[in-house]
Amino acid sequence: MAYRFPKAKHKKRYAVKPEELGEAVGEILGIYSEEVTKNTKEAVTTTADDTVQLLKDTSPRESASFPRVKSKKTNTKYHEGWTATQAFDNSLERRVTVHNATDYQLIHLLEWGHARRGLHFHSGFVPGKPHVMPAYEKAQEELTKAVKEAIENANNDT
């Protein structure tokens, strides 16, 4: 893959003397690194937002077999509480956390199932409804693909 300089930053013809080769390569790699970092950060944010939307769509809703989904504190439903929070950001990396801000304590019970309260015919086990792990796996695939594209397409001005 031949490197192409961005048109806006470099307008002159490049003839590099042997003693200036190291500096020229360093400049090229610096520009490439900045663009890869920028595109990767955008991919992290976009993937987090897509994951939040997927979790909102696939999270369990209130139904006859699942009656208590409303949060007692905020009067919102479990599926509405998903959000992405930027945990860390500097010049080289960005970390975004996807979590349920209103009903975080329900995630494990809903994902894996739980014992039903009650005596005799009311007792038993409520099966889980997997929604977090499928979203997590899809986010991993999307982010991996987006980072590969960011690396391959950095500075490919046509």
Do the bridges between strand 94-100 and strand 113-116 make them parallel or antiparallel, or are there none, so unpaired? unpaired
CA dist., res. 65 & res. 25, Å (int):
64
Q: What is the pLDDT of residues 74-130, one digit of tens each?
A: 556 888 889 999 999 998 889 999 999 988 888 898 899 888 776 666 677 888 889
Contacts of 57 (CB under 8 A, 6+ apart): 79
Q: Which residue has the higher pLDDT, 2 or 44?
A: 44
User: For the chain, which residues make up each domain, given as ranges?
Assistant: 18-152
Which amino acid type is present at position 127? P
Q: What is the pLDDT of residues 23-71, one digit of tens each?
A: 888 888 888 888 899 999 999 999 999 999 999 999 887 654 455 555 5
CA dist., res. 137 & res. 147, Å (int):
16
Q: DSSP assignment of 29-46, as one string?
A: HHHHHHHHHHHHHHHHHH
